[in-house]
Structure 1
Amino acid sequence: MIIVIDYDAGNTRNVLRALQAIGMDAKLSSDLAEIQQADGLILPGVGAFPLAMAELQQRGLITELKKQVNQGKPLLGVCLGMQLLLEGSEEHTYTQGLGLIPGVCRPIPAQPGSPVPHMGWNQLDIVAEDALTKGVQDEYVYFVHSYYTDVPKDYLRATCEYSMTIPAMISTKNVFGAQFHPEKSGEAGKKILLNFKEYVDATITSN
């Protein structure tokens, strides 16, 4: 069972539909017992970083998410969910994040022809392979965001070009992030979710 973390994140219905389309048993929940029993976790997100962290805190999810990750459970953060994986964000005011991957979210610089928010289809450039990047080099995926994840190079897996080089996928061990929306990215997004499913299945087998 995959638990999609419920904290009023906005795009959960599309995420669940995409997971079910590839044969993943998935459920939306903020119940700690269900999160503990899950085979893998997805942290979705649309909205503002400070409000999201406040909602996770209010629901008692921050400590539990960190605990599950430390125990080796796979976690995929999507869009805002990827940003929440970092140490903090400069959105509105500095807000501490989950601290699962080093780095800080910063505003995307607007330039002529590259307005903010960054919205639309961009081509992936895989800069370092991990379990989720298989088969998606040069594929186009769908972005909607105003902030980027400024992370050390060691955690960067894929980028795209906009007004700057945008980190598109990041990871460390069992923690993965996708800045774009796999659930809105057609066959490429489906492939990434299938890669996550394979990783979760392999983790179950190894345990």
Structure 2
Amino acid sequence: MAWYCTCIGETGATIYVTDIESRNRKTSELPGSVEDTAEQLTERGGVGIPVRLDHTDDDAVAETIKREHGVLDLLVANAFNGNAIPFKSDPFWKLSLTNWHNMIDNGLRNHLVAAWHAAPLLNRRKGRIVLTGLKTSDEGIMGNLFNDLAMNGISKLTHALNYELSTHGVTSVAISPGFTRTEAIMAVMGGN
């Protein structure tokens, strides 16, 4: 579970947690599910509500965002599928085009789709959109062009959302937590 989920849980907030992984429908052999994360949030004082969701299904995203509440205070978009591919540093012509699909079509686009559906529902006095990515630089990120494009895209998307939503009292920010403690990262890093 990411640190920002823990912090949000400690505020007593009601949090809809979405993930493609559920206890009854696993897409990988890695541990963890949307129910596990929701339970951890509840243990920390919030109300974690698990929702199995494929973020590449635009209609399902729209239905999930609108289903329970007429007003949202916060959207945290962190849906990527980068863990589904071997992540490595190589010249772009040696990388599989699957990297593009997972980083841009799934990752960057999923952030935009979630924001697009959430924007009309965001609290007009204190609504927030938080997008996750990595701090970018001219040198690129870890020598992976597709990841660099996705992270720069998230930075640009954050600025554009903030520009368009600021007149409505909504703020958009990006956070760069570095490697997020997911089950896939933990498996690669050996628990460190």
* TM-score, length-scaled by structure 1: 0.33
The structure with the larger Rg is 2
Greater share of residues in strand:
1
Instruction: Please state which structure has a larger fraction of its residues in helix.
Output: 2
